[in-house]
Amino acid sequence: MSDLSRFYPIFDNSDWLERLVPLGIKMVQLRIKDKSQEYIRAEILKAQKVCEKYDCTLIINDYWQLAIELDCKWVHLGQEDLDIANIDVIKNAGMKLGVSTHDKEELQRAVQLKPDYIALGPVYPTILKKMKWYQQGLGRVTEWKSTLGNIPLVAIGGMSVQRADGAFTAGADIVAAVTDVTLHPDPEQRIAEWIAACHQDPKKI
């Protein structure tokens, strides 16, 4: 999977990256909503510095134009983002692309783009945002993977350390988590547990 890790957390500001990436995170997504371009630019620059220092792959959610301008290597687009994004410009810039999917129609659309990974969610019920898809289940993970072939599959939505092994067994190549880390009473400990669950070596600090 080239520079893809088996686990990545999703954070909404660079403070989380500064706090947790040094613990051994090797891939992270920065997902910021409803902020000014100036704020987002500053956050991406901070995130880049952290990820460069600790050899962590940074994925920028949504803001593909800023990501290109700031020489980021990865961008993640949701289905709504795909409606307005210029995929040719993204690929011509040498960026790698991840895409969210929730149903078969979206999956077919995503596969045609030949992305570097496809995410399926929510695998389990999620409190992060309201969605018309309540729960995909592990069976859908297996179904998606059989369709994708060599395209890495990310399981997201309601994921926890305890559920990671089931997702991998069902066919996921990568598991992504949000609130399981950010709402945990001890996020540092939770990251260590995630790294262990995904059979990655934690960084000694």
**What are the residues facing 9 on neighbouring strands?**
177
pTM exceeding 0.75: yes
- What confidence tens digit (pLDDT) does each residue in 40-99 have? 999 999 999 999 999 999 999 999 999 999 999 999 999 999 999 999 999 999 999 999
**3-class state of residue 100 by DSSP:** strand
Name the one residue in this structure whose structure tokens are 């050899």. Answer: 55
Residue 87 is which amino acid? I
Contact 59, 75 (CB under 8 A): yes
| Architecture category of domain 7-197 in CATH | Alpha-Beta Barrel (3.20)
pLDDT (average), residues 129-154? 86
Return the exposure string of 38-67: e unless at least 16 CB atoms fall within 10 Å of the residue's CB, then b: eebeebbebbbebbeebebbbbbbbbbebb
- What whole-number distance in Å separates Cα of residue 198 and Cα of residue 137? 20
